[in-house]
Amino acid sequence: MAIEVVPLPLPPSADASKFKDFGREVKGVSPGELNDEQFEVVRDLLYKHDALLFRDVTLTPEQQYRLTKMFDPKSESYGHGNNKTGSEKKSILHPDLKTIPRQPQVQLIGNGTIYNHEGLAEAMLKHPNHTTFHKTRVSEIDEAKGITRFYRWHIDAALYDLSPPKVTTLYGIHVPHGPRQTVRYDDGAGDELDVPLGTTAFVSGRTMFDILPDELKSVAVRTKVKYAPHPYVWMAPARAMSTGLGIETEGHELPWDELPPWEESKIKILPMTWKNPVTGNLHFQVHPCGVAELLIDPLPAGAKKEGALFPDGAHLKDLKEVRELLYKMQRPAIAPPLVYPHDWRERDLVLFHNRGVLHSVVGAFTKEQVRAFHQCNLAASDDPAGPTPDDVKKYA
């Protein structure tokens, strides 16, 4: 049977014109048993469409690891380092992940208590939700009516020492069903989004860049992003904005001298826009919660300075200024018409281009609603490529 590709089913809220290239369902192939020829087709599809859905998949942890590794054969460890998430108690990721013992690059995530699962006698899982991470929260009355929020818009990456994974694979094993929920943005814009229970929400980093006005495109191609060391420990005492798109600036971050031991050479400084290895498109790829500083290059020779922002370059160190600029650049791309909220079914496998999209956990479950997913991403063998000199000339 030949590989067949169809568009993802978009919700009524989506602006279909902005999803022409985003997302495909792939049929006619078993993703856990790809041969080299089939993999090349799948790889090409992923980088062209940023998210691929396979339905009714049977996938062992070993197969999931093998599939994920095929995108980066030199990669080996889980994206945050094998067993690192469980041992670093201060990290905000610590409660959310359980490692599969015989395949430590694959994590068990979900909600409720899971018994006798892939070598784990008992795993108590907790679906992260905004009430533990945001500065403000939806009232319990509204929560009972199904009002919720995006938890945290992010890229899967350690953002310290290890390079951001190229691909994440997410496999739905137990998917609870329940009433749909409404994401409320609560940032004054009045935005709301109807979503399935426990959806994973995706936005395109390409669209995030493409819809920027010219003066912000210029900033995007000239900027490098410096992340804090051990960013998930650094940000743990702080609280997030109501959209899940970054941290409120209140001075609650852990001082750098109170972090676990770190080395300057392991701090990640990455381009603000990452170049797609197949299409050549630029994707705006910033994890806003972990950013400490922005380093902006001056305009290239011959570029017009009139109307340009930071024409002579800048090094932004003030967290409030850094976060306000990032929010201005990223917030338009999480507007309801630009969000794809995946409606999970059991045995769905989603592959997403981790260097091309941002995503967020959404919603809340009761303790009785058991959910189990396998997640795998691998710290990459290299850092993402940024814009070329020709890209800078084109957009700056």
pLDDT 10s digits, 114-131: 999 999 999 999 999 999
Q: What span, in angstroms and rounded, lies between the C-alpha atoms of 63 and 42?
A: 15
Q: What span, in angstroms and rounded, lies between the C-alpha atoms of 292 and 237?
A: 15
Question: What are the tens digits of pLDDT across the range 67-92?
Answer: 999 999 999 888 776 544 444 557 77
pLDDT for 1: 66
Where does the pLDDT of residue 19 fall: very low under 50, low under 70, confident under 90, or very high at 90 and above? very high
Answer for the pair 37, 70: CB distance below 8 angstroms, yes or no: no
Longest Cα–Cα distance in the chain:
65
Percentage, residues of the chain above pLDDT 70: 97
Task: Tell me the pairing of strands 314-316 and 106-117.
Answer: unpaired
Question: What are the tens digits of pLDDT across the range 331-352?
Answer: 999 999 999 999 999 999 999 9
CATH architecture of 4-206+333-377: 4-Layer Sandwich (3.60)
Write down the mean pLDDT value for the chain: 95
pLDDT for 187 beyond 60: yes
pLDDT for 289 beyond 80: yes
Answer for the pair 271, 283: CB distance below 8 angstroms, yes or no: no
Answer for the pair 160, 266: CB distance below 8 angstroms, yes or no: yes
Q: What span, in angstroms and rounded, lies between the C-alpha atoms of 121 and 105?
A: 19
Where does the pLDDT of residue 97 fall: very low under 50, low under 70, confident under 90, or very high at 90 and above? confident
- ∠ CA(225), CA(335), CA(339), 5° rounding? 90
pLDDT for 232 beyond 50: yes
CATH code 3.60.130.10 region(s) in the chain: 4-206+333-377
pLDDT for 78: 85
Residue 134's DSSP bridge partners are: 240
pLDDT for 76: 85
pTM for the full predicted model: 0.96
